[in-house]
């Protein structure tokens, strides 16, 4: 029978090499971070589950990257700088060392790319499916974190990057021979698939958000649904203009051949972009700084008053969508 490492051996071989200073080489049961004067801690935990958030056949490097990236996306939306993360890994009976080696490789690549070291965690058995839970820790200047409850009437709503790529990438995985998929170039197919497999948290946008954003949150469950959540949390209404939603060339090609995909693009989720509101007089300054940081930001709507409805517009007229956002339940 093939020898499997014990938990201590597994940690020493695969995770100790990537431990940050506060993790003390993973030799203790707890991590230690030095306090930072004048800064607040920002914490977030999300789990991804095989067969729900990723395909069991996905490369382990991509599973690891996604587990870290989806959490860092929440830090990015708060303008936070990563300080480290904790990992809880529940392995099903059929795990192999080959899989774990590739997983740890992807995790280390993500940690190094984002400046977010491993601080500790836990490894357990599960009857299945594979579950990866990551807790990220970041920090922001004290009192400066933009929350989702702070949208103000008259604010302009903006979205970073492009919307819908990951949702269309998932659709491509589920039906690679769809009529619209055949219209994509190889590069466009790869773009959509990559956006689903490897989210890119917008950490670079932090300085611009801290300088200008009123409300901010990441887009994980779909643009329409997440904007509805932001406006509801802020006690206001608003309007989203679907014609202004930023789309990649790949998404535009897909939607041109199958117009119904627009709804999937704006409700499907897994974008991991940033949704924020900015005072009208500061929009251009914000967009200029965001562009200089390498992250385009596009105006997509306006915040209404308390008591106003949330409306989704297409060609200037309200539209009704069958699905508002991805739901876990």
Sequence ranges of the binding site for substrate: 53, 270, 326
What are the CA-CA distances from residue 58 to residues 10, 111, 195 (Å)? 22, 19, 13
Neighbours of 305 (CB within 10 A): 12
DSSP state for residue 261 in the 8-state scheme: H
Q: Angle at the Cα of 259 (from 257 to 260), degrees rounded to 5? A: 125
Q: Are 138 and 94 in contact (CB under 8 A)?
A: no
Binding site members: 29, 46, 53, 74, 121-122, 148, 218, 220-221, 270, 326
Q: Which residues are annotated as a binding site for Mg(2+)?
A: 29, 46, 74, 122, 218, 221
Instruction: Could you list the beta-strand ranges (E) of 109-207.
Output: 118-125, 131-141, 156-160
The DSSP line for 282-323 is GHHHHHHHHHHTT--EEEEEEE--TTPPEEEEETTEE---S-
- Cβ distance 69 to 200 under 8 Å? yes
Which residues sit in the known binding site for ATP? 121-122, 148, 220
Instruction: Please name which of 201, 306, 323, 216 lies closest in space to residue 266, comparing C-alpha atoms.
Output: 323
Of 108, 156, 158, give the one whose Cα is nearest residue 290: 158
8 A C-beta contact, residue 158 and residue 240 = no
DSSP state of 278: E
Residue 162 phi/psi, 5-degree rounding, is -130, 150
CA nearest neighbour of 24 among 160, 117, 163: 117
């Amino acid at each position: 029978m093939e020898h499997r490492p014990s938990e201590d051996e597994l940690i020493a071989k695969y995770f100790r090499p990537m431990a940050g200073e506060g993790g003390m080489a993973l030799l203790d049961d707890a991590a230690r971070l030095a306090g930072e004067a004048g800064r607040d801690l920002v914490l977030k935990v999300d789990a991804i589950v095989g067969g729900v958030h990723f395909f069991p056949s996905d490369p382990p490097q991509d599973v690891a990257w996604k587990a870290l990236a989806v959490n860092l996306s929440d830090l990015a939306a708060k303008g936070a700088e990563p300080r480290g993360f904790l990992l809880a890994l529940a392995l099903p009976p059929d795990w192999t060392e080959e899989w774990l080696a590739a997983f740890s490789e992807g995790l280390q690549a993500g940690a190094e790319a984002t400046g977010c070291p491993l601080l500790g965690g836990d490894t357990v058995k599960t009857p299945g499916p594979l579950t990866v839970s990551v807790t990220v820790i970041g920090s922001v200047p004290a009192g400066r974190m933009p929350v989702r409850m702070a949208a103000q009437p008259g604010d302009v709503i903006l979205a970073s990057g492009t919307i819908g790529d990951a949702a269309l990438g998932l659709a491509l995985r589920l039906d690679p021979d769809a009529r619209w998929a055949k219209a994509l170039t190889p590069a466009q197919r790869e773009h959509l698939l990559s956006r689903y497999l490897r989210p890119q948290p917008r950490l670079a946008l932090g300085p611009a958000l801290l300088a200008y954003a009123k409300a901010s949150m990441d887009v994980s469950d779909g643009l329409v649904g997440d904007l509805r959540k932001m406006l509801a949390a802020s006690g206001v209404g608003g309007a989203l203009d679907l014609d202004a939603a930023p789309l990649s060339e790949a998404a535009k090609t897909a939607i041109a051949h199958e117009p119904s995909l627009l709804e999937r693009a704006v409700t499907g989720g897994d974008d991991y972009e940033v949704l924020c509101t900015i005072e009208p007089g500061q929009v251009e300054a914000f967009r200029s700084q965001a562009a200089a940081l390498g992250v385009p930001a596009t105006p997509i709507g306006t915040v209404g008053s308390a008591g106003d409805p949330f409306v989704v517009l297409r060609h200037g007229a309200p539209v009704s969508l069958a699905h508002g956002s991805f739901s876990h339940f």
